[in-house]
Amino acid sequence: MRQIQHFIDGELASGHSTERGEVFDPTAGYQQAEVALGDEQDVADAVNAAHAAFGPWSHLTPLRRARILFKFKSLLDENRDALARLIASEHGKVFSDAQGEVTRGIEVVEFACGMPHLQKGEHSLNVGNGVDSYSLYQPLGVCVGITPFNFPAMVPMWMFPIAIAAGNTFVLKPADKDPSVSVRLAELLMEAGLPPGVFNVVQGRGPTANALITHPGVAAVSFVGSTPIAKHIYTTAAEHEKRVQALGGAKNHMVIMPDADLDGAVDALMGAAYGSAGERCMAISVAVPVGEQTAERLRNKLSEHLENLRVGPSLVDGPDNDMGPLVTAEHLERIRSYIASGVEEGADLVVDGRKRSFDTNPSGYFIGGSLFDHTRPGMRVYDEEIFGPVLCMARAQDLESAIALINANDFANGTAIFTESGYAARRFSEAIEVGMVGINVPIPVPMAFHSFGGWKRSLFGPLHVHGPDGVRFYTRMKTVTARWPEAAVAHGDAYSMPTH
């Protein structure tokens, strides 16, 4: 059986722990590899390696650090398809989608290549008589990233390129369901010339993550995953005096106004709801048509499109499928039980993905796309994050009740409105209590040079990831106030508050 290892201090490591996890092939439905599950000693080894590397790495000039990232970026370009195949083979997402994931990760590396500029401080001349004031943005030390299964390359790349470009060292704990790509990224970083110990990977599950976030040698923790774990990571890491940002789950609504281009909105909605089998934190999981007529037309068009949704394995050559299998048999079972609960709670199941038959391997974790109408708060399918190819419709009478419905939700990652009215778009973007808003854009994922993050229970901590917030998160500011007298001049003691 193929073994997936840790990557510590510049090399592959099987680690101290003998515990192993199963990695499945979602398309064929069998175990394809074993992954090491790190224990406290493995965590200590990785943190110690990162700690030892921090001094020399943080003292390297910013340009020399950036040059390694430029090289890493060109290696990622060369290896984009191989990385995408690796992701597809363990996650199950289709090849074209996996390619897109790698591209979005590469964009953060491109952003991080600008760190010599991004890390510059501010300077004020002559804030007092002969006194200057300036700020320094210095690295923190050993930073940790704990990441989810759904973007095994992109989400780690939201974090480590910026962290290491700023002079930090890094320990990544990827999800155990699709861990191979993390090791491949570590190898490419070495090939790019990164010194050993600057980037490390410790494989594992919750206990490994908990050993990392409580380790005294760790300065900062970035987490992306589900809301209950995000909250646990946020409180535990903060209690252990780490800087922490923890991004959680989502229930993203898309409002379709009566004046929207409905065909365009439906095309957008199909990709946003069912792409990557709904296993995206920015997937649209609730469609909110405004007015009964819009709702009826939307329901009919979505049902038609769902019949043509191409569900199947990842295809490298030729036109790809629209969506692949779910990540594990357990996750498939979870989605099936959500659909059953929606029916029990009285939601109107318009299209039942459980009934879809497939020509693919019957053991694969496939399910068709499902559509519920007439869902509302209080139903589990509406309230909870399903994280699968299930779209709920929740009808609203007007724009204000659509806004009120969304604002009443605990999650607040992304949202969108489809309309031709500038007024409606403006009112929506101002009043909505959600971190990322799309106007005629279904998945408003900000580019690498902007920051990504939700509000409310979709993000714990003040700083979002990548973009300007990413630079702030991975640096700490020091403000220096300096006086250089013309000559040694004796001053009398001054006890009053300095004013200028």
Q: Which residues are catalytic?
A: 281
Nearer to ligand NAD, 150 or 409 (CB): 150
Please report how close the Cβ of residue 450 comes to ligand NAD at its closest, in angstroms.
14
Strands 348-351, 370-373: pairing kind: antiparallel
Please report how close the Cβ of residue 454 comes to ligand NAD at its closest, in angstroms.
6
Q: How far apart are CA 283 and CA 250, in angstroms?
A: 8
Q: How far is the first Cα of the chain from the last one, in angstroms, to the nearest whole number?
A: 71
Nearer to ligand NAD, 51 or 232 (CB): 232
Nearer to ligand NAD, 251 or 299 (CB): 251
Nearer to ligand NAD, 198 or 247 (CB): 247
Given 258, 389, 454, 467, the residue binding ligand NAD (CB under 6 A): 454
Report the b/e string of 347-373 with b at 16+ CB within 10 A: bebbbbbeebeeebeeebbbbbbbbbb
Residues 6+ apart with CB under 8 A from 147: 155, 156, 159, 172, 173, 174, 175, 223, 224, 225
Nearer to ligand NAD, 246 or 260 (CB): 246
Number of CB atoms found within 10 A of residue 104's CB:
18
Q: Segment contacting ligand NAD (CB under 6 A): 4-12, 90-98, 142-150, 476-484?
A: 142-150
Q: Are the C-beta atoms of residues 47 and 215 closer than 8 Å to each other?
A: yes
**Binding of ligand NAD at residue 251 (CB under 6 A)?**
no
Given 98, 219, 224, 406, the residue binding ligand NAD (CB under 6 A): 224
| Opening angle at CA 246, ends 70 and 192, nearest 5 | 15
**Binding of ligand NAD at residue 182 (CB under 6 A)?**
no
Q: Segment contacting ligand NAD (CB under 6 A): 67-75, 117-125, 149-157, 393-401?
A: 149-157
**Binding of ligand NAD at residue 424 (CB under 6 A)?**
no
Residues 46-85 that bind ligand NAD (CB under 6 A): none
Strands 123-128, 131-139: pairing kind: antiparallel
Residue 106 is which amino acid?
I
Please report how close the Cβ of residue 256 comes to ligand NAD at its closest, in angstroms.
23
Contact pattern for ligand NAD over residues 394 through 423, marking x by CB under 6 A: -------------------x----------
**Binding of ligand NAD at residue 366 (CB under 6 A)?**
no
284 by Cβ neighbours in 10 Å (0-12 / 13-18 / 19+) ranks as buried
**Binding of ligand NAD at residue 225 (CB under 6 A)?**
yes
Please report how close the Cβ of residue 358 comes to ligand NAD at its closest, in angstroms.
24
Q: How far apart are CA 222 and CA 243, in angstroms?
A: 8
**Binding of ligand NAD at residue 205 (CB under 6 A)?**
yes
What is the helix (H) or strand (E) element at residue 2, kind and residue range?
strand 2-4
**Binding of ligand NAD at residue 9 (CB under 6 A)?**
no
Task: Give how many residues touch ligand NAD by CB under 6 A.
Answer: 29
- Where do we find the tokens 């923890």? 246
Q: How far apart are CA 270 and CA 391, in angstroms?
A: 9
**Binding of ligand NAD at residue 250 (CB under 6 A)?**
yes
Q: Segment contacting ligand NAD (CB under 6 A): 62-70, 204-212, 295-303, 351-359?
A: 204-212
**Binding of ligand NAD at residue 229 (CB under 6 A)?**
yes
Please report how close the Cβ of residue 299 comes to ligand NAD at its closest, in angstroms.
26
Q: Are the C-beta atoms of residues 335 and 329 closer than 8 Å to each other?
A: no
Q: How far apart are CA 232 and CA 96, in angstroms?
A: 34
Residue length, the chain? 500
Residues 342-361 that bind ligand NAD (CB under 6 A): none
Nearer to ligand NAD, 177 or 395 (CB): 177
**Binding of ligand NAD at residue 210 (CB under 6 A)?**
yes
- Where do we find the tokens 């969304």? 406
Q: Among candidates 362, 363, 367, which has minimal Cα distance to 352?
A: 367
**Binding of ligand NAD at residue 281 (CB under 6 A)?**
yes
Q: How far apart are CA 142 and CA 163, in angstroms?
A: 9
Q: How far apart are CA 159 and CA 182, in angstroms?
A: 13
**Binding of ligand NAD at residue 388 (CB under 6 A)?**
no
**Binding of ligand NAD at residue 173 (CB under 6 A)?**
yes
Residues forming the site for ligand NAD (CB under 6 A): 146-151, 155, 173, 175-176, 205-206, 209-210, 224-226, 229, 232, 247-250, 281, 385, 387, 413, 454, 458
